Structure 1
Amino acid sequence: MVAHRPEDDEKKTALNVGDACHALILEPQRFEAEYAIGPDAPKNTKAGKAEWAEFEEALGDRQLLTFAEGRKVKLIRESVMAHPLARQLIEAPGDVEASIYWNDETTGRLCRCRPDKTLNDMGWLIDLKSTGDMGKFARSVADYRYHVQDAFYSDGYATHFGHQPQGFLFVAFSTSIECGKYPVRVFQLDQQARTQGRFEYQRNMAVYDECLRTGVWRGIESLSLPYWAQKEAS
């Protein structure tokens, strides 16, 4: 029997809801292919059991969202589309999840980024972000290094296309209700944040390049047997 790693169902649910929102907003076809919303039926009744049995038979490899989770995902999408600028960015012609390749100017290493959406006609890079608390989104920028992502993606776009993007926009949506609504805001980082992000990713690239050149990877420690376990090789 193969042992499976334990999973935190609460954390997994949060990740599912975040990705489901992302898919429903930007890639509705992927949402339909990868997610299924369970029926609003109790499993302790004959009719409910029958409805769930039919649903589970057709579920396949899709991720299950409870009826409540599905309702939440749809409400969040409606909230995003109710924000005038967010809706304009979502509906504007562009490439969704398209990879951009380039060689880093300092190290020469091949790099890749994959913006959530690239609006080539407008020159914008768009990234959707979920947050549990809109009031703490600035902290999330620092914690999850969104400023590094901004600078890395923007420089990659500039190297690939030969000109700087007009900007990098974060469309942030809350997964928690505030005053009866799911807040949605559009952010652009200031120059100080982007400059710091560029410094950090360039430092990371230098470390990566050094590891590739030397074959020595930081964080890997050398470990010897304790003295009492060491024996001379015969």
Structure 2
Amino acid sequence: MNMPANPFDLQEQPAIEPAFSGPGFYTNLSNEEYHSGPGISKSGLDHIAHCPSSLPWSREAPVDDEKLKAMDFGSALHCLLLEPHLFDEQFVEAPQFNLRTNDGKAAWEAFQAKHDGKIIMTADESRKLKIMQGSVMAHPTARWIFEQAGVNEASIYWTDQQTGELCRVRPDRILTDHHIIVDVKKVDGMDRFEKHIEEFRYHVQDAMYSEGYHRHFGVEPTFLFLAVSSTVGAGRYAVDVIEIEPDWKRRGHELFRQNLETYHQCKVNDDWLHIRKLERPAWAVRQDERRLS
């Protein structure tokens, strides 16, 4: 099979990559620079799909920083697999403190002060996280993903041809020799992943990330989910590498285009005053039908 030329071999990366300077492929933008930078992302389109008013709200609403410090297995696993060099900067395992004593309370407060800004894990959380990491590497396809040449946490910016809007995506991992995008997902039980796709609009992410890759590199990528269960079954944390079927991908692309057009119209008209309309849930309608039958 004749494969297209690898676009990563054709482009020259400068020794020191500049900060964002327009549409392109960036390997050195920090997570903070990406999220605070220009352009509409998939998470922004999620707000648009919910209600356009929630997009400016998400940018202006105050943040409870204390709640951000809570342990998040998804973020921790993501960092451990994709940015292990940053793990110790962001997370720390706490020893056991006897908080029933004054000395124990003082030691706990001193530990918190010493590691201010980091997410503090219990020994049990750290143990579970390491087992989840080991579960990923025990899965042949998942291990293959990390053995291939690749780029983690790169950012792609492009100008949408239909709306003229600047779009951006940040794939977890790109396998540069295979034109494969991989996104890591923590899932609360592997049997829930199908529901998660609809609930969290993973099919829209598939569509938008594939669009950005194709627009920049000229190659249609394969989009894979690396799903890791945070709940145990038979003493193990399940791992799957998943590609969704074409109809699901097509629906994701339809929603991506609809949401992007809505975002564009809101910007053009400077109209962010919207009211979210709720339909009666199907289960409530079915209950009424059963009562009347």
State whether residues 131 and 137 of structure 1, in contact with CA within 8 Å, keep that contact through their aligned partners in structure 2.
yes
Q: Does 1:109 align with 2:149?
A: no
> Match of 2:235?
180
Aligned counterpart, 1:206? 261
Deviation at residue 60 of structure 1 after TM alignment: 3.0
Letter in 2 for 1:156: G
TM-score normalised by structure 1 residue count? 0.83
Distance 1:101 1:5, change over 3 A: closer
Q: Distance in 1 between matches of 2:267 and 2:141?
A: 43
- AA aligned opposite 2:257: Q
SS of match in other structure, 2:253: helix
Instruction: Return the alpha-carbon distance in structure 2 between the equivalents of residues 190 and 148 of structure 1.
Output: 13
Q: Structure 1 103/5 Cα, relative in aligned 2: closer, same or farther at 3 Å?
A: closer
Aligned counterparts of 1:168 and 1:155: Cα–Cα separation in 2:
11
Q: Determine helix, strand or coil for the equivalent of 1:122.
A: coil
Cα distance per residue 1:100-150 (max 9 Å; x no partner): 011112112110000001112111000000011110100000000000000
Give the CA deviation at 1:12.
Answer: 7.1
Asked if the contact 2:225/2:241 (under 8 Å) is kept, the reply is yes
Query: CA 1:54–1:126 in 2, change beyond 3 Å: closer, same or farther?
Result: same
Secondary structure, aligned partner of 1:219: coil
Distance 1:51 1:90 in 2: 40
8 Å CA contact 1:101, 1:111 repeated in 2: yes
How is 1:60-99 mapped onto 2 (pairs within 5 angstroms)? 60-99=116-155
Q: Which structure ranks higher in relative contact order (CA pairs < 8 Å, sequence separation ≥ 6)?
A: 2
> Which residue is 1:230 aligned to?
none
Which of 138, 148, 151 aligns to 2:194? It is 138
Query: 5+ residue gaps in structure 1?
Result: 222-234
- In the alignment, the residues of structure 2 paired with residue 220 and residue 44 of structure 1 have an alpha-carbon distance, to the nearest angstrom, of 50
Counterpart CA distance in 1 for 2:102 and 2:137 is 39
SS of 1:60's equivalent in the other structure is: coil
Shift of 1:92: 2.0
| Counterpart residue number, 1:216 | 271
Letter in 2 for 1:152: M
CA distance 1:74–1:148, change in 2 (3 Å): same
Deviation at 1:57, TM superposition (A): 5.1
- 2: CA distance, partners of 1:7 / 1:174: 27
1:6-155 counterparts in 2 under 5 A? 13=70, 16-40=72-96, 42-44=98-100, 52=108, 55-56=111-112, 58-155=114-211
Aligned length: 215
CA distance in 2, matches of 1:83, 1:97: 22
Change (3 A) 1:31 1:201: same
Which residue number corresponds to residue 12 of structure 2? none
Which secondary structure does the structure 2 equivalent of 1:160 belong to?
helix
Any stretches of 5+ residues in structure 2 without a counterpart? Answer: 1-61, 277-293
Moved more, 101-110 or 184-193: 101-110
Choose 174-183 or 212-221, whichever is displaced more: 212-221
Using the TM superposition, give the Cα deviation of residue 46 of structure 1 relative to its aligned residue in structure 2, in angstroms: 9.4
Secondary structure in 1 matching 2:72: helix
Percent of aligned pairs with the same amino acid: 38
User: Distance between the aligned counterparts of 1:132 and 1:150, measured in 2?
Assistant: 20
The two structures, once aligned, show a CA RMSD in angstroms of 2.6
